[in-house]
Structure formats: structure tokens, C-alpha cells
Amino acid sequence: MPNMTLKTPVVWSDACLLHVPKGEVWVGVPIEGTEVPARAEVIVAALQDAGAVVTPASGYDDTVLTDVHDPELVDWLRTCSDEWQRGSYSVDPGQDRVVPYVFPTAALLCGLPLRSPTAVHGRAGQYAYDTMTLVGPGTWEAARGAVDAALTAVDLVASGRHETAYALCRPPGHHATPNGYGGSCYLNNAAVAAQALRTKGHERVAIIDIDAHHGNGTQAIFYDRSDVYYGSVHVDPAAGWFPHYVGHADETGRGDGAGANRNIPLAEGTPDDDWLAGVASIAEGAKAHGATALVVSLGVDAAINDPESPLQITDRGYQAAGEQLATLGLPTVAVQEGGYHLPSLGGLVVATLAGLESRR
Ligand code: SP5
Ligand code: ZN
């Protein structure tokens, strides 16, 4: 897209580079992992090339975190790496990142109440629900920086200064649940942003999640609430894709939240047209819900070359998704979620933001 100038402010915190997972454990095998600091670097570079102004994130108090997360999860994330380093794990068995190996699932507890173990290598499985989401020395600072970026973007639109703002959050957030973390996510940036918009006076907020994976964390946080709509298009978890257990079409909300959750699982290989029909359908749902502000969980891993998903979305598709969401005419905060193909990441984000700007 030559000769374009993005007007959407890009909010960024240098702290987001401090999270260095040093790999992940997948089906028991340590692999390199794709949620790397270079993701953020290539996105910033592409946005600057497109003329976007990069704004540093402001600092916010930790109290915003417990609007959407249990305090125990927040305390764990803040302290577990230091506790792990104080143990001898980096020498024996030679692991300097926090990695769980046993999980208090229903299959283990068999109805007994959960009792939190003292040993940090036991307790890890109480909060981490997978083995791919390692915690290291800079993880907390980076996750906090990502939340700060999301909240700064909220302030930019809530003040009326901008119609749309983009937070370059890393690590991503939509798999982080009220009381757990996984899927390369620790704190739920999109949920914090939606909650902040609620606090600033928007009675109804919509979150539209176009990451290739279902945002099980965001869904869980708002599942019982009528004030925040969650809609997602994603590769069908039942077809063998993370998060496997959650993200089905019949998950529509519960109690007060009944009807305020919408999942559109898609087959492997889904191209632009069918994906865009899903995005349009979810946008309709957001409109019907009466939302007056929008959070976009902007994962670009549905892209055709992405190594983590089998969806086949092009740059044009992402731009068209941005254009569709722009027709809602709502104050919009876009937060970065996944996206792992380094050569195309930047162009995909630029295309989406260009689409979101189209209503000006
Ligand atoms: C935010 C986000 O997009 N999280 C994605 C979490 C899903 N990660 C699953 C990783 C599975 C291991 N990938 C091995 C590479 C196969 N091509
Ligand atoms: Zn994803």
C-alpha cells in the first residue's frame, strides 16, 4: 500500500520486549516457539514506514488487573519467576523458566477441594493450563507493559481525541482467563480495555476477536455478563486446534450473559470470503447488542502464511475486515493478539488499520 499514511495512533511500551520465552514445550518437546520479541519489532517498523505516529504507553496502577483477573493469578504472575530462580531448577533439571508438569484437573482432584501446593513447580499447574506458556525474568514487566499500552489506547479514544487507537500488545492476552494463563497469554489486554471502557461510561461494549484462535480467556471473563459482548471467528477447535476444549458455536453465554457470546468456528483452509462473512455476522451481533464502543482483538495469525493456523486470509481480507468493523462507527481500540509469520506480520497489521480508518 504505497503513499498511505496511517492516522491511527500506535501505542507501545518498550517493556514488551522484556518477555523472552526461550521456547515452549509442545506435546512434551521443547521447541523454539513463535511468540518472539521480533514480532513486535517488525510490526512497529511496518507501522512507522506507513507513517503512523508511535506513542509511548502511560503507566497504570495494578488495581485495573483485578477487574478481570483473580488477585491470586496476578500475584502468581508477579512473583513466580523470582520464586523459581530462588529454587535450583536452572541447575537441576536445567530449566530457568517457570514450566508446569502436573495440573489439578477434575481427573486428578476427583471431587476433592483444590489445595495450593507449597512447591513452586507443583503450584505452576494451578495457574498455567498448558506447557507452552513459560514465565521468565521479564515476563511480568512485558505483560504489564502490554496492559499499559491497551489502557493508553483506551484513553486516546475515550477522550474523544481519536476515533481509533491501536495498542501493540506483546505478549498477547486473549487466552488469559480470570484465574489462569496459557496460549502465550498472561494478562488479558482486550478484557482490561473493555472493562476500562465500561468504567469510562460505555454501558455496553463489544469485543470482536479476529485472531485465528478462539479467545477462550476473554469469553470466560465476560461469559456471565450482559454488558460486554464477545464475538469470535476462529479455526474450529474441534478440528484439532488450540484451545481444543473451548470455542464451539453453541457457547452463547450464561445467566445474565445469555446471548452476549458468539462463536463462529471455521474449517481449515477457510478463505477470505467465508471468514469475512463470519466477521460481518459478529459485527451485526455487536450492533444488535447496542455496544457504544468496540475492542478489536487483532490477531493476524489467520493469514495464509502463518505457521500457527490453517486459515487462508490475505492482506486484502484483513483490510476488508477493518472496513467492515469501521462501518459500526464506534470508538475503537484495537489490541494486538497473535500473528507469527515475521515477513508478513507488519503488512497485515497495516492493512487492518487502514481498513479501520476507512470511515473517515
Ligand atoms: C495468541 C495466540 O495466537 N496464541 C496461540 C496459541 C496457540 N499455540 C499453539 C502452538 C502449537 C505448537 N505449534 C507448533 C507449530 C506447528 N506448525
Ligand atoms: Zn492466535
Q: Is 175 a catalytic residue?
A: yes
Distances (CA, A) of 59 to 83, 141, 320, 341: 25, 12, 34, 30
Contact between residue 134 and residue 98 where contact means Cβ atoms under 8 Å apart: yes
Task: Please report, for residues 53, 237, 293, the alpha-carbon distance to residue 160 in angstroms, rounded to integers and kept in the order given.
Answer: 17, 38, 12
Beta strands, E only, the chain: 10-12, 24-26, 29-31, 54-56, 164-167, 205-209, 228-235, 261-266, 293-298, 332-336
Cis peptide before 265 (omega within 30 of 0): no
**Residues with CB in 5 Å of ion ligand 2:** 211-213, 299, 301, 338
Q: 48 pLDDT exceeds 80?
A: yes
Q: What is the pLDDT of residue 201?
A: 97
Contact 21, 35 (CB under 8 A): yes
Q: What is the pLDDT of residues 80-121, one digit of tens each?
A: 999 999 999 999 999 999 999 999 999 999 999 999 999 999
The DSSP 8-state label assigned to residue 218 in this structure reads H
Please indicate whether residue 309, judged by its CB atom, sits closer than 6 Å to ligand 1: no
Q: By C-alpha distance, which of 279, 311, 36 is closest to 170?
A: 36
Q: Which atom of ligand 1 is nearest to the CA of 339?
A: 3
Q: Is the pLDDT of residue 183 over 60?
A: yes
- pTM assigned to the model: 0.98
Indicate whether residue 209 lines ligand 1 (CB < 6 A).
no
The Cα–Cα gap between 309 and 247 comes to 15
- In the chain, % of residues over pLDDT 90: 98
Can you tell me the mean pLDDT for 294-298? 99
What is the model's pLDDT at position 4? 78
Measured CA to CA, the distance from residue 169 to residue 182 in angstroms comes to 16
Of ligand 1's listed atoms, the one at least distance from the Cα of 172 is 1
- Phi-psi region at 255: left, alpha or beta (left = phi > 0; alpha = psi -120 to 50): left
Residue in 27, 134, 184 to alter for ligand 1 test, most ligand atoms within 8 A of Cβ? 184
